[in-house]
C-alpha cells in the first residue's frame, strides 16, 4: 500500500508539472461527460414525473376511431360498456384542443362534469355559469388575465366568446393543468358545436385491476370501431417517447464522445519527447515496466475520475438546479405552455455505471497502450530519440 501511495504521489507531481495540459484535458473530458449525464438525468427525471402524474389516470379510456383517426364517440356506447361484468362505472368526457394564433399556443379545454372534487384551485372557484371558466397558471403567465378578468376565445363559428375567470389552478398541479381551461360541459359543447349525444371519449373504471386487459379486449370485440387504451399503455407510450427523444440527443452527444476519444488517442499515442525521456530515465534507474505502467494507470485514472466526477456534478447542477435550460425544450415537446416545474432528482445508477465504463475505460486504454510500447523499448534508445 505504501508503495502504491508513493507511486500515486509521483503521478500527481508529474501531472502538476504539466498542469496546463492536464487541466485543459480534464475540462474537455468533463464537458463531454456533463452533456451525456445531463441527457440521462433529464430523461430519467421526466419519466419519473410523467409516471407519478399518470398514477391517477383512468384505468381505461375508450376512443372511437374513424378513418384511422380519433373521432367523437356516441354516448350510447357507455350504456353498452357499463353492462359488461367487472365494470364499475363509465363516464363520458367532453374536451378538445384550442389553438390561439395570437400567442401561438395550444390550450386544452375540458367540460366540467363529475370531476369537480379532483380539481384543486389556488384562488376562486370552479365555473358554474355558461360564461365562466377556470384556467391554469400557464395561461395566466402567457395571456395575462387572472381571477375576475375575462378570457376571450374564438369558437368554431369564428365568433369571439368572453368567459369570466372564476379560478386559477394551483402551481403544484402545473404539470397537468398548466394549459387547461375548464368550462361547464354545456358551454363547451356549444363552443365546439358538439352534439349532446356525442362525447370526446369514455372513462371506464373497473373493480378488479387484473381484468383491465380482458375488459379492453371485450370492448374492442363488441364495439369494433373503438380503441380502448389502458393506463399501462399510456405509461408505456410516455416511456417510449422519452426514450426515443433522449436517444436522438444521445446520438448527437455520442459524436462528441467519439471526438473526445479521438482526442485522447491522439494525445496518448502522440506521447511527448519529455514524457518519453521521463520513462527512459525511470527505466535506467531500475524501474520495471510494470512500475511505469502503474504510474500511467494512476495518471489516467486520476484524470478520468476527476473529469467524471466534475462532469456528473455539472450535469446534476444543470438539470436539477437550473432545470436543464439547454435540453428541456427538446425533451418536453411542442407545447408553448409547457409548465415550469422543479425536476425531482432521480438517478439510475446502472446508467451512471455504463457512462463511466464507456468514458473511463477507453481513456485508460489510450493512456496505457503507448506507455507500454515506450516502456518496453531500450532506455538508451528512448532517451536518444
Check: CB of residue 180 under 8 Å from CB of residue 335.
no
pLDDT at residue 317, as a whole number: 92
* pLDDT attached to residue 337: 47
CA 341 to chain centre: 13
User: Alpha-carbon distance 381 to 297, whole Å?
Assistant: 23
Strands 105-112 and 180-184: parallel
Which helix (H) or strand (E) covers residue 119, if one does?
none
Residue 129: exposed, middle, or buried by beta-carbon count in 10 A (0-12, 13-18, 19+)?
Answer: exposed
CB 295 within 8 A of CB 287: no
pLDDT of residue 118: 47
What is the pLDDT, as a whole number, of residue 13?
75
Reference 233, options 246, 220, 222, 245; nearest CA is 220
pLDDT at 343: 67
> What pLDDT is attached to residue 4?
67
pLDDT value, residue 214: 92
DSSP 8-class letter at 57 = S
Residues 47 and 236 sit within 8 Å (Cβ to Cβ): no
Write out the E strands in 268-334.
none
pLDDT at 376: 63
What is the distance between the alpha carbons of residues 334 and 179, in angstroms, rounded to a whole number? Answer: 13
Q: Would you give per-residue pLDDT tens digits along the chain (385 residues)?
A: 676 676 677 777 777 777 887 888 888 888 888 888 888 888 777 777 777 667 777 889 999 998 888 899 999 999 999 999 999 999 999 999 998 877 777 889 999 864 454 456 667 888 888 899 999 888 888 777 788 889 988 887 788 899 999 988 875 555 667 788 999 999 999 999 999 999 999 999 999 989 999 999 999 999 999 999 998 888 777 777 666 656 666 666 666 666 666 666 665 555 566 666 666 666 666 667 677 777 778 888 888 899 999 999 999 998 888 877 777 666 555 454 455 555 677 777 887 888 888 788 877 777 777 666 656 655 555 555 5
Dihedral (Cα; 144, 148, 151, 152), 10-degree rounding: -120
Q: Using alpha carbons, select from 288, 286, 266 the residue that is nearest to residue 375.
A: 288
Strand 132-135 with 160-169, pairing: parallel
Cell (9 digits) for 103: 400567442
C-alpha 127/C-alpha 366 separation (Å) is 67
Amino acid at each position: 500500500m505504501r508503495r502504491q501511495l508513493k507511486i500515486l504521489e509521483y503521478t500527481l507531481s508529474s501531472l502538476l508539472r504539466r498542469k496546463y495540459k492536464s487541466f485543459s484535458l480534464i475540462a474537455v473530458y468533463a464537458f463531454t461527460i456533463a452533456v451525456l449525464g445531463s441527457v440521462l438525468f433529464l430523461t430519467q427525471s421526466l419519466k419519473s414525473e410523467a409516471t407519478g402524474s399518470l398514477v391517477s389516470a383512468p384505468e381505461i379510456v375508450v376512443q372511437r376511431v374513424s378513418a384511422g383517426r380519433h373521432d367523437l364517440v356516441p354516448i350510447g356506447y357507455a350504456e353498452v360498456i357499463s353492462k359488461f361484468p367487472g365494470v364499475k362505472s363509465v363516464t363520458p368526457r367532453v374536451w378538445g384542443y384550442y389553438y390561439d394564433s395570437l400567442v401561438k399556443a395550444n390550450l386544452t379545454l375540458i367540460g366540467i362534469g363529475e370531476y369537480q372534487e379532483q380539481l384543486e384551485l389556488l384562488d376562486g372557484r370552479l365555473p358554474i355559469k355558461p360564461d365562466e371558466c377556470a384556467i391554469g397558471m400557464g395561461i395566466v403567465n402567457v395571456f395575462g388575465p387572472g381571477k375576475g378578468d375575462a378570457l376571450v376565445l374564438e369558437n368554431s363559428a369564428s365568433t369571439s366568446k368572453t368567459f369570466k375567470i372564476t379560478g386559477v389552478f394551483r402551481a403544484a398541479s402545473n404539470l397537468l393543468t398548466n394549459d387547461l381551461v375548464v368550462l361547464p360541459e354545456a358551454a363547451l359543447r356549444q363552443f365546439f358545436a358538439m352534439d349532446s349525444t356525442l362525447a370526446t371519449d369514455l372513462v371506464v373504471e373497473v373493480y378488479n385491476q387484473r381484468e383491465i386487459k380482458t375488459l379492453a379486449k371485450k370492448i374492442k370485440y363488441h364495439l369494433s370501431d373503438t380503441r380502448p387504451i389502458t393506463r399501462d399503455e399510456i405509461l408505456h407510450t410516455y416511456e417510449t417517447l422519452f426514450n426515443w427523444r433522449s436517444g436522438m440527443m444521445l446520438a448527437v452527444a455520442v459524436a462528441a464522445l467519439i471526438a473526445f476519444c479521438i482526442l485522447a488517442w491522439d494525445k496518448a499515442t502522440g506521447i511527448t519527447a519529455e514524457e518519453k525521456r521521463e520513462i527512459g530515465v525511470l527505466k535506467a534507474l531500475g524501474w520495471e515496466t510494470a512500475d511505469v505502467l502503474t504510474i500511467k494507470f494512476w495518471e489516467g485514472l486520476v484524470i478520468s475520475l476527476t473529469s467524471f466526477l466534475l462532469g456528473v456534478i455539472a450535469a446534476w447542477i444543470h438539470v436539477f438546479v437550473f432545470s436543464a435550460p439547454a435540453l428541456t425544450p427538446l425533451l418536453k415537446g411542442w407545447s408553448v405552455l409547457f409548465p415550469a416545474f422543479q425536476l425531482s432528482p432521480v438517478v439510475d445508477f446502472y446508467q451512471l455505471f455504463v457512462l463511466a465504463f464507456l468514458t473511463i475505460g477507453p481513456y485508460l486504454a489510450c493512456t496505457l497502450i503507448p506507455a507500454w510500447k515506450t516502456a518496453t523499448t531500450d532506455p538508451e534508445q528512448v532517451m536518444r530519440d
